Amino acid sequence: MKILNLFNTLKDKLISFYHDKELKKKIYIIIFESDTKLGKRFDTILMLVILLSILLVIAESMMSFNLFLQPYLCALEYIFTAFFTIEYLLRLYCSPKPWKYATSFFGIIDLLATLPLYISWIFGTARYLLIIRAFRLIRVFRVFKLFNFLDEGHALLYSLRASSRKILVFFLFVLIMVISLGTAMYMVEGNIPETKFDNIPNSIYWAIVTLTTVGYGDLTPETGIGRFLSSIVMLLGYTIIAVPTGIVSASMFEYGKKAKSKALAESKNLKRKRKNTVDRSWKTLASEYIVHEKWLTVRKEHVLLPTGAEINDYYVLEYPNWVNIIAIDEIGRFVMVRQYRHAIKQTLYELCGGVCEADEDPLRAAQRELFEETGYGNGEWSLMMTLSPNASTMTNTTFCYLAIDVELLSSQHLDDTEDLSVHLLTEDEVYNMLKSNEIRQSLMAAPLWQYFSKK
């Protein structure tokens, strides 16, 4: 009876674990996305483990290491395989479409990264297929987002800089290719008596000199399969020579188009500036306050336009400065509020925001408003943009801040007239609300659109 109860309890927990959407969302953000602190940290650790596991496979192929390090190398391989197995299962668990992930390129590579050790229990040499983990190093570009060159120079220098990312990716691909081909040749020729393909580094050396069409001839395969593989590598060497040339040529062509477009744009801007050099400011002939309340100050002015026309009753609204905040917690969720807006009689999702007190620093005001409305604080803060709510009639400025890795510090601290709820939304949810016009406040939509434009 106790065993049955234990089984039912375990079954219920597994079902609850499988259907835990919040947990899946957290794991998904960490594993599949790299814009958060935890996501970047995970990808960095994953990359290091991949590199170490590749070095381990290479070391295992060298007989001098096997004499005294074999037990330790074997133990490390079991640890690495366990790591990749757990990672693969977590990816399947948190993926919205597990089958789509499993049949994708990286899904197949992730699976192949775990299988060889298990297969080696049946077929010994299959464990050297672990070298296929090298393909997963392509993920390094998600973490570091390298090669965003902005400086301009001469056409050739520009082309080299603009092509550097593609060239480095191409170099990485060639590196992966020679490692894989060298490993394959070692598997084919390694058991031949007195073979020179006696370890993976020697085999990789052969793959490099053959692929680059140098072919010193100091290592030559003896078996039919080895010679066939050697022929394939030679043909591949001729096909890849043209790739870097094509990349640089395309970049030079693109540079010419951009230079021409830039010159045309500068010419148009120059003409526009010449037209706008005349002072277009209005002159105030008279001014008086007609409303001076806590939340609204209105002055009526008599103004003279540059055209000579006059407006006797031009109204200017004086407001204190405002702030709003795009707040994102440690796992990438947007901290937003939902409240009723009486003027349009709708309840809306919004960013946290509010009024700057008299002589209050905008950053301090933003941090105070976020804490009072949501209880969140700390994190890394930066000013995204400043906006004029209505440059025609309103005098104030809205300061828009981005707060990354904020954390929950306490409950809300609302005024008697405030009635709002806190919501933690994913990046996709916020983006979809923007596209569907659910975020109606223009001063909040503007910084959100800028945020997503840089993604």
Q: Which residue has the higher pLDDT, 334 or 215?
A: 334
Mean pLDDT for all residues in the chain: 78
Euclidean distance between CA atoms 157 and 163, whole angstroms: 10
Just give the CATH number of 18-248. 1.10.287.70
Euclidean distance between CA atoms 51 and 59, whole angstroms: 12
Residue 22's pLDDT is what? Answer: 81
Question: pLDDT of 223-253, one tens digit each?
Answer: 788 778 877 877 777 677 666 666 556 665 6
Residue range 323-453 forms a domain whose CATH class is alpha beta
Within 8 A by CB and 6+ apart from 305, the residues are 282, 311
Residue 401's pLDDT is what? Answer: 95
Whole-model pTM: value is 0.47
Torsion of CA 10, 14, 16, 21, to 10 degrees: 160
Euclidean distance between CA atoms 3 and 270, whole angstroms: 84
Residue 275: pLDDT band (50, 70, 90) is: low
Residue 373's pLDDT is what? Answer: 93
The tokens for 260 are 């021409």
Cα distances (angstroms) measured from residue 208 to each of 181, 214, 289: 9, 9, 82
Cα distances (angstroms) measured from residue 309 to each of 152, 231, 282, 300, 313: 48, 86, 10, 17, 13
Euclidean distance between CA atoms 186 and 180, whole angstroms: 10
Euclidean distance between CA atoms 319 and 296, whole angstroms: 7
Euclidean distance between CA atoms 440 and 444, whole angstroms: 8
Residue 335: pLDDT band (50, 70, 90) is: very high
